[in-house]
Each structure stands twice: as C-alpha cells, then as structure tokens.
Structure 1
C-alpha cells in the first residue's frame, strides 16, 4: 500500500531528525514524502492596527530566505535519500501554519504527518512545541506521528496502545497504524485503562472492532487502574522499553485537558518513544 506522508519542517535539527527517522521507518514501503515549510511575517495579519502592513520587499526577503533554507535542506536530504521506493517533493509557502497544513493534507491526500516534538526553540522545559500541539489538536483528517529530538531509529519492539475502549476508530488511520506494526513485526500491547469486568456493551463492541484491526498482528491485553494512569503508563513503557505509543486523541482530550500533566511532560521532554496520535471518528 502506497503512503503519502507530510513532513513539516522549520529547518531545525529536530525537524531534520524527524525526516531521517521517517525515511528509515518506512524504508520498505512505497511512499511519497512532502517536505514542507511555512513562513509568516508576525505583523502581516490584516487588521492588526499595532503594526503597519509589511512592504512587498519584506515578503520578498522572507521568500528568498525560505528558499535558500529549503535548497540547503534538499541538498542535505539528498545525501541520505537513496531509496528507490521513495519519492520526495519539497515546497515552502507563505501563510498560516495550520491553514497551509490542512491545505496540503487535502491536496496531496496525506495519510500521515510526521514531525519533531519540538522545533527551533528546542526548549527543554516545553513538552511539545506549539506547532506539534496545533497539528495534533486541529488536523483531524490524518494520523500524526511525533518524533522526540533525542532518538535515532531502531526496530520497534512493541507498540503500547492505551485505551478505555470508548473511542471509535478511523479505518484509514488504523491501517496506517497496522502498517507500521506489520513492517517491523511489532506486537501491540493493548493497555486497558480501567477494570476488565466493567465494560459496557459499547466498550465491548469497540474492543471487538479493535481486535479485528489487529487480527493479523500479535497483540496482548494489559490492565491499569484508572486512578494512576500517568504513573502506571510511564512505568509500563519504561520497564518494557517499549518502542512506540499509539493512542486515539479524542478532540481536546489528550492535549487539551492533559497537556500540563506529568505524563505529557515526561513523554515530550524526556522520552525516547515516538507517539502516534490517531483520531476518534466522531470528532
């Protein structure tokens, strides 16, 4: 199955690391990669009375600067892009980051967005960069894979999938998830949050649907008490040295209500585990 993958870049080291990781992760899959940069003049928003409208020369200067950076990045990527199964396109454009990403997702029929967890600022005290959070919260048409800046690719020994079985799964995104697991022969560890005996009929149906998605994969069930989710999930991952986390990001759930909690901070700042954010079909 061919995959269309969008890799936003801010020309940072973290963004380049995400490119390298992605090429290796999908080395055995036919892919078209779209490496994309958006640039924006902070005072260019119309109706902003605090700043005058930028001169055409300012737009031209920003465009030239972005083009120069993209040429440098392209030359750097070409040194490692020797996979005949991969096709790479490069683009940069002026405008709002989220608006342009949404445009690229629809125009190029994107299956997956991959990006670093932090960008140019690389603030060690910030769990996720603003762009990473915005994409995971606002781009609902495809899965998002966030790559920590301090990791290199290694075979994914297992993928942890925390769930309370209350989500409805998007078929196309689950196929991307399964594809990642299959190519690395990575078993799925379904980590149920809550008590096994207290499932509603809806939860049981969702569990059956999930098992159907994973029918060609090895998977096992594990349970953690809902009272200590953050700590127990982190302990589970650390003790097993799990290679990836995948979860269904119900809108404004993971990053909205939990953005400042220890789980997200730990995963974003200290973790060496990539995070695959899927979406609930009802949001």
Structure 2
C-alpha cells in the first residue's frame, strides 16, 4: 500500500498534479492524502470584537473542508480506480510544517505537488512553495509536476548525477520502482564543464550505481555544460524526449546548484517536465519499496 501526499490549494496547478499522481499509480493500491492548509489573515484593530478572529478562522476552515470534499468528488467523477482510497486533511498550519508532520506520522512514500513560477525573482524556476518543501523535507521524495504538463507514462527517465557521491539503495529505490513499474529506460546523465575521464571515486560510484540498476535497462550519457546545469539538462531532456527527471538532493548536488544558479540561467528550466527530488538518506535507511508498505490508513 502506497501513501501519497497531495498538497492542494484548489488551483488548476494543484489539480494537474493530482491528475498526474492518480494516473501514475492507477494500477497500485494507494491512499492519497489530500492536504489543504489555511492561515486566516490577522485582523488588527483595538476596536475589533474579540470573537471576530474565531469567526474568521471558522469560515476559512469551512471553506478548506468544503474544498477538499469537492476535490474528492471531482476525482471520483473523473477516475474509477478500485485500488485507490482518499483521505482529506484540513489544517490550520503552515504548509511545510504540516507536510513534515504528516510524512512522519502517516509514513508518506512520496509527496506530489504542482510547480508554478513565483511572482518574484527568487526561486522562479519551480515556485517558492515547491522549493521550500524540497529544502525542508529530508526523509521523503518530492515529485514536482509542471503546471501545464499532460500525463505521459514515464518510460524514459533521466537521472542526473556527477558520480562524486556514493549512492545508497534506499535513495535509488524510488527510481528503480518507477523503472520497473513502467518498463522504463533510465538514462544516467553526467554534466561536465569540460569532458574528461572520471576519477577513481567517480568510477567506483558509477559501478555501484550500475549494480543497483542491474535489473532495469540503463545507459550513461556524458554531456558538455551549456551555460548552466539547468540549461544543459533542459536541452538533454528535450532531445531525448525524457518524461521524468530525477535527482538526489545533497550538498553540492545538481539540485543544489540549480537552486543557487542566477535567475537568468534558471529561467530556461522553468518546469518543463516532472522532477523527482530524492533527499539524502545515507546508508542507515533501509530500502523502502512501494510493495512492502503496510501502515496506510484508509477511510
């Protein structure tokens, strides 16, 4: 039983991510946890009656709960997958804080969220909420779905890495599970500023990576950097018609480099394809396959 967390603000962007998640796991037993958080605006006036704040919070809570009920109804209207169950969570809380609590308490396997460019310049390539989730959640993969991306079965998956870090099986398991489920090809892409031979450490890590991926079809692609990592990966994914891009998120990783790149360089990578960001789990976490989770809670 897979536990999937779907944060929603009832926007078209969030609905698109919800549709993607349902299609992605249509053949799996899943519990989708639909989360909406709300924080009523604080009314500040010394002449305001003391119960106004409570009334306002109650109204916002009612809107949140009603929105979640309508969302479940809309899902059931468009999709009829018997292995799927839905739970709703309406919470007076900050989004990232609530997500972290739910990941721990429920045992979430993956967070799937929509991406939308922020209005400001900072973090424009994915949207500030998505980036905050990726930076804050340290024990659960995050799959970010572009605002206008139509679902395509991910039979071509790119895994971007520089081979400078040892991988644990627990970190690679989400990619392996997807590849097996969709009989996908994994294309390991290594971006180099200038093409040169791998070091001994890089070769060792590459060989370990191939060992972990021995049950799925995979290839290694070394490409020259074009202006920036994000631009290079954008070109690579378009040329090879990649359906999903996966990265590990750790210090000095491609993911970290992309979040630090100048805004002008990141613009080209503005939410082109789904991006799976896997946190740094290390060697102490057991590999968690989607097939052996039994702690889901259903209605």
TM-score range, shorter chain: 0.7 to 0.9
Gaps of 5+ in 2: 284-299
Contact kept, 8 Å, 1:170 with 1:279, in 2: the verdict is no
Alignment match, 2:42: 43
1: CA distance, partners of 2:199 / 2:264:
26
Contact kept, 8 Å, 1:35 with 1:91, in 2: the verdict is yes
> What is the CA distance between 1:233 and its match in structure 2?
2.3
Contact kept, 8 Å, 1:15 with 1:119, in 2: the verdict is no
1:166-222 per-position Cα deviation (integer Å, ceiling 9, x unaligned): 234354342222111211111011111234523242x23322332222111100011
Q: Which residue of 91, 94, 106 maps to 1:93?
A: 91
> What is the CA distance between 1:137 and its match in structure 2?
0.9
Alignment match, 2:139: 141
What pairs with 1:1-283 in structure 2 (closer than 5 Å)? 2-43=1-42, 55-118=53-116, 126-194=124-192, 195=195, 197-201=197-201, 203-226=202-225, 228=227, 229-251=229-251, 253-254=256-257, 256-258=259-261, 260-262=263-265, 264-269=266-271, 271=272, 273-281=273-281
> What is the CA distance between 1:91 and its match in structure 2?
1.3
> What is the CA distance between 1:155 and its match in structure 2?
2.1
Contact kept, 8 Å, 1:249 with 1:279, in 2: the verdict is yes
Q: Secondary structure of the residue that 2:40 maps to in structure 1? A: coil
Provide the aligned length of Structure 1 versus Structure 2.
Answer: 272
Gaps of 5+ in 1: none
> What is the CA distance between 1:259 and its match in structure 2?
6.7
Contact kept, 8 Å, 2:5 with 2:35, in 1: the verdict is yes
Contact kept, 8 Å, 1:167 with 1:280, in 2: the verdict is no
2: CA distance, partners of 1:15 / 1:240:
27
State the TM-score, normalizing by the size of structure 1: 0.86
Contact kept, 8 Å, 1:9 with 1:15, in 2: the verdict is yes
